[in-house]
A and B are shown apart, each in its own frame.
Chain A
């Protein structure tokens, strides 16, 4: 392996809603194996960026390459099958399905046969420590469990890159720490992770590299430490967060 190729390469990505520029000129690369952070205050365009990457929203400008293959303009299910999975900030399990069935829907992306899909769904549940909840009605889970279900569904599609959208928001410190540990373990198992998070301590602990968004523009990118020390970032994000 000479000159490793970035797993995700985003160049000049922009997204406008009418006259409003939600995201403009965002460029960065994510290398295989890392945990990559996206930070920024509310309304900075983090979720919009995720929606563009996963195909839910069409781009207004720029390109996205996954492992050298251009993916912007593809449908969400195609992007998923190419190996990019995501979680949603607002977690909603499929209604009237058990926890296992929820994950099975995702496992079908790689395993068309029902028995194989079920087996892999159970594995995915085991990876987030929810094997014992498999037969429960998915709507009866706690918030922290629903977040883990969301992750289980995403990893059941066997992604190379996993996009986590504010998985830790609203969890207790203990729950957040447990989830962080799980994220780290999934990463260690070979899944590259890109995460949006509010909490600076968590980002600086988990992520080697990060970008900072503010009003849809990229303020800084690079090693997380350096990014967080950036004066502009201090002012735009940390300053307001401290108040």
Chain B
């Protein structure tokens, strides 16, 4: 049992430690919140990309659904997170099932699936940017309310950090529970060879829809937490393609084959981006995109991601007997 959940437990402990440091240093807490939130969403995204071979470039759609449900739910109907979070997750699941049915019915895979998901999220981005009651491209502020607790409005950042630790733990343990049971095996089989998997009794459609819905629901929860944490949503930060690409980059850098890989990617890249911004000033807009490009080149040298190299090093004694020829250059490159 402990062994089974170790890949979820260790990152959760590290996140709790990070939260502890953040209690002492508000600036660190801000970075911790971004790392924890986007990193966890990247973990949810990776259930599809890394474990099922469905690389979504439209996950900002589900993040946006989460964020805007919270914002509009409060502005329009006075609803708090107790109502808006579940609604957001239901809406994300419904959208994922619709998009999934369409894509998988017509056998979209590989690049075609990625482009289709990107198209759906871009349509949502443009629609929201043009919709008056959703604040158009200016976005929406969540008004402060005297009933602070009901709307999760706090004077300090740490309660949000705590919520994000819980979100991270929930995502990691839930994902690991799925990955180590039948769905995880089916997902990996589908990733590799759908025809062979189906011939071995794997209901491809059902399990692809399952991973899509699960990933979308967790991503929407992330978006909902984002809206409550920052009390502000706009199309660019919650529905834009930049967010989807961030998830992809965190996954590739951290390691797509690992549950916690994308979290590692986020923990390295978000602070690095902050440092770059601090030293280069805010004049360089889009500097992080340039940095990502450089990192993608690094990724070509380390195809399993930094987490993969790290994992290989830690597991070296036991893996010795089947040390592969293709792993060796990657390990060398890291040293």
Interface residues of A (CB under 8 A from B): 54-56, 75-77, 80-81, 85-86, 88, 92, 94-97, 101, 104-106, 108-109, 112, 114, 117, 136-137, 140, 153-154, 156-157
Contact = CB atoms under 8 A, between A and B. Distances in A.
Contact of A97 (B182, B188, B200): B188
B311 interface: no
A56 B195 contact: yes
Contacts of B191: 95
Interface of B: 180-182, 185-186, 188-189, 191-193, 195-204, 257, 322, 324
A104 B197 CA distance: 12
Contacts of A85: 199-200
Contacts of A101: 185, 188
B101 to A, nearest CB: 15
B188 A94 contact: yes
Nearest to B205: A75
A76 B201 CA distance: 7
Given A96-B257, A105-B197, A114 B202 contact: no
B182 A88 contact: no
A88 B202 contact: no
26 contacts: A56-B195, A56-B199, A77-B198, A77-B202, A77-B203, A81-B201, A88-B196, A92-B193, A92-B196, A94-B189, A101-B185, A101-B188, A105-B186, A105-B189, A105-B202, A108-B182, A108-B185, A108-B186, A108-B201, A109-B200, A114-B180, A117-B182, A136-B322, A137-B324, A156-B200, A157-B201
B299 to A, nearest CB: 18
Contacts of B189: 94, 97, 105
B199 A54 contact: yes
A76 B188 contact: no
Contact of B199 (A76, A97, A114, A156): A76
Most B CB contacts (10 A, CB to CB) among A75, A105, A117, A137 go to A105
A137 to B, nearest CB: 6
A104 B201 CA distance: 12
B102 to A, nearest CB: 18
